[in-house]
Amino acid sequence: MSQERSIYTTTARARAGQVKVEGTGETLPVALPTALGGANAWEGWSPEQLHAAALASCMQQSLALAASVRGLSVENSSVTADVSLEHSGPLRYAFQASMRIDLPDLEAGESQNLIAEAARACPMASGVHIDGL
């Protein structure tokens, strides 16, 4: 990673049952979902949940950026990210992600153009299926 090109860096460290984002003083509890053998009660965030949250928030921020350049508002927009854990053999797992984006204040053509522009700007959107694109 080139220092000249980097505009923001963060670090997270995971240990059994928790992940800490450096510089925030915050620790998030992490746990296996019940479908993968986790406890019945909610004990913490799963990697799938964290990935979905990161994907949705990254795309929402990218939409806001693209909209501001165009003089548009996405104040009433929402991004929903679905993340599935897939299994393809012994110790072979992958995330499959998709997003749905609701831009109720924009016309269909304008929405599609803005979503396409935001998808190019969002570093996490590469390879993610976006409904309507």
pLDDT at 1: 54
pLDDT at 37: 86
Give which of 121, 129, 61 is closest to 95, Cα–Cα.
129
pLDDT at 45: 93
Q: pLDDT by residue (tens digit) across 46-95?
A: 999 999 999 999 999 999 999 999 999 999 999 999 999 999 999 999 99
CA distance 127 to 90: 24
CA distance 85 to 98: 12
CA distance 120 to 99: 14
Whole-model pTM? 0.89
